[in-house]
Chains A and B, each alone.
Chain A
Amino acid sequence: MGTFFGSSIGKKFVMSISGLFLVVFLIVHLAINLLLLVPDGGETFNAAANFMALPAIKFGLQPVLALGFIVHIIYAAIITLQNNKARGSAKYASGNKTKDVMWASKNMFVLGATVFAFLAVHIYQFFVPLQITHSAPELASGGHDTYTLVANALTCIPTVVFYVIGSLGLALHLTHGFWSAFQTVGASNNIWRKRWTVIGTVFAWVVGLAFSAIAIAMYFIGSCGGCN
């Protein structure tokens, strides 16, 4: 009869659980980023950032997070390829004029790829100097001065714009992804579908706009302007 992970619903289940796991990660990430806005020269933010670099988290949780991303992306690719095949090569000459279908729901792979492009640059800018090459500035009290690293990166307008695009792409991904994940695991009916959609839409835009706002705020707070 086929394996669980080979079945369409099994694959969607993996997308859903990995997606919801990434949502939880986003909440933690956003909470820490908000500390950037505490007006104490980055002391609180640095404390939180250095906590996240503790060995238990670095070697315990980070591999799980990486796995979450990898699984989500691999299954996204499998599902998208299979779906294109199922659709077939013959296209409709009169297009598709079905009303009331959310644009995001039909472009989840493109939106995911936007998030992925962002993720790659993001890892290169922060994760690599902080946790791999350790080239990020140091604090006198030990640990990295992540605040200065972030503040310097966001003095550059193209970087800020890139961060805003990444955040908005993520918001759109989640306007569909959030409720879709609950539908996929079966935790939905005519009443709950409306509730998940409202919760998901609010969540998506709060997260997307908050990340964008932080990037823009850091640009204006930052003193030493210009890209380097």
Chain B
Amino acid sequence: MGNNISLTLKVWRQNDAQDKGRYESYKLEAVSVDSSFLEMMDILNEQLVNEGKEPVAFDHDCREGICGMCSLYINGRPHGPDDDVTTCQLHMRKFKDGETITIEPWRSAGFPVIKDLIVNRNAFDTIIAAGGYTSVSTGGVPDANALPISKIDADEAMDAASCIGCGACVATCKNGSAMLFVSAKVSHLALLPQGKVEAARRAKNMVAKMDELGFGNCTNTGACEVECPKGVSISNIARLNREFLSAKFKD
């Protein structure tokens, strides 16, 4: 079958957070190149269940690239060899017949492994809870032109808001830094009038929480931007630096 490929998978298996973990190899015959990477994982798990073995645990939810649940570090890159897509949108046509695919969890001190390929990304929620919101009362729907926002700001805010919180930026960063994520969350609010009220406090609190949770110091390697499935730009990191520094200097 020209449309099918056979694969060897080298998968990280780890029983729980305390377990040391190990790699295990599995063979898959006749995987359709039209299937998605997660469908391939489903096929693997079905095979494992049929053999009476424990299936591989991995994160996923929407499977359409919008929820940020899927992860997986595939052949040296978070979200695999394709650019600007999440693992759930990665297709098997990106792989060759007979290829060995290494599948690992995100590895970073801020994201401890829970089981197999699932890591604990609660740290991101904790950072959001530290200030990634606006606390104005919303009231009724405002008039469209009551609060003018420039097209440039609206576009940049929208681009920053496209961050789905997957953590690929941390996974690829040699410094284990969460700056791309935090800068996206600070930027999409800082650019809009509704977010300006709490801008200074937000930048300070979110950065403090990020540091407290043990993420690294950004040295601007730019790897995060390359691996971000949503193409969030490191210009947001410059904005976060600006927001944070001016907030601190005002104190």
Interface residues of chain A, those whose CB is within 8 Å of chain B, are 1-2, 4, 6-13, 79, 82-83, 85-88, 90-102, 105-106, 108, 176, 179-180, 183-190, 193
Complex alpha-carbon distance, A82 and B177, angstroms: 10
Query: Could you say which residues of chain A place their CB within 8 Å of the CB of B210?
Result: 8
Instruction: Select which of A4, A7, A79 is within 8 A of B219 by beta carbon.
Output: A79
Q: State whether B222 touches A105 (Cβ < 8 A).
A: yes
| Chain A residue at smallest Cβ distance from B81 | A97
| Chain A residue at smallest Cβ distance from B23 | A93
- Residue from the set B10, B214, B238, B240 with the largest chain A CB neighbour count within 10 Å: B238
Q: State whether B172 touches A108 (Cβ < 8 A).
A: no
| Chain A residue at smallest Cβ distance from B201 | A1
B interface, how many residues as a size bin? 35 or more
Q: State whether A7 touches B208 (Cβ < 8 A).
A: yes
Q: State whether A190 touches B216 (Cβ < 8 A).
A: no
Q: State whether A8 touches B216 (Cβ < 8 A).
A: yes
Considering only residues 209-250 of chain B, those with a C-beta below 8 Å from chain A are 210-212, 214-223, 226-227, 233-235, 237-246, 248
Query: Could you say which residues of chain B place their CB within 8 Å of the CB of A90?
Result: 107, 113
Complex alpha-carbon distance, A66 and B117, angstroms: 49
Known: A83-B177, A100-B226, A187-B238. A12 touches B218 (CB 8 A): yes
Query: Could you say which residues of chain B place their CB within 8 Å of the CB of A10?
Result: 248
Chain A nearest CB, measured from B24 CB (Å): 12
Q: State whether B238 touches A1 (Cβ < 8 A).
A: no
Q: State whether A106 touches B174 (Cβ < 8 A).
A: yes
Q: State whether B238 touches A82 (Cβ < 8 A).
A: no
Q: State whether A86 touches B242 (Cβ < 8 A).
A: no
Q: State whether A83 touches B241 (Cβ < 8 A).
A: no
Is B204 in the interface zone, CB < 8 Å from A? yes
Query: Could you say which residues of chain A place their CB within 8 Å of the CB of B132?
Result: none
Complex alpha-carbon distance, A193 and B236, angstroms: 12
Q: State whether A101 touches B216 (Cβ < 8 A).
A: no
Query: Could you say which residues of chain B place their CB within 8 Å of the CB of A88?
Result: 107-109, 176
Complex alpha-carbon distance, A85 and B107, angstroms: 12
Q: State whether B245 touches A94 (Cβ < 8 A).
A: no
Chain B nearest CB, measured from A151 CB (Å): 39
Q: State whether A86 touches B241 (Cβ < 8 A).
A: no
Closest 5 CB pairs of A and B: A186-B242, A97-B76, A86-B216, A86-B176, A83-B175
Instruction: Select which of A6, A8, A86, A94 is within 8 A of B110 by beta carbon.
Output: A86
Chain B nearest CB, measured from A11 CB (Å): 6
Instruction: Select which of B73, B205, B220 is within 8 A of A176 by beta carbon.
Output: B220
Chain B nearest CB, measured from A147 CB (Å): 40
Q: State whether A1 touches B107 (Cβ < 8 A).
A: no
Q: State whether A83 touches B219 (Cβ < 8 A).
A: yes
Complex alpha-carbon distance, A86 and B73, angstroms: 18
Is B194 in the interface zone, CB < 8 Å from A? no
Complex alpha-carbon distance, A31 and B207, angstroms: 41
Chain B nearest CB, measured from A75 CB (Å): 9
Is B104 in the interface zone, CB < 8 Å from A? yes
Is B75 in the interface zone, CB < 8 Å from A? yes
Q: State whether A8 touches B207 (Cβ < 8 A).
A: yes
Chain B nearest CB, measured from A227 CB (Å): 39
| Chain B residue at smallest Cβ distance from A188 | B238
Q: State whether B204 touches A1 (Cβ < 8 A).
A: yes
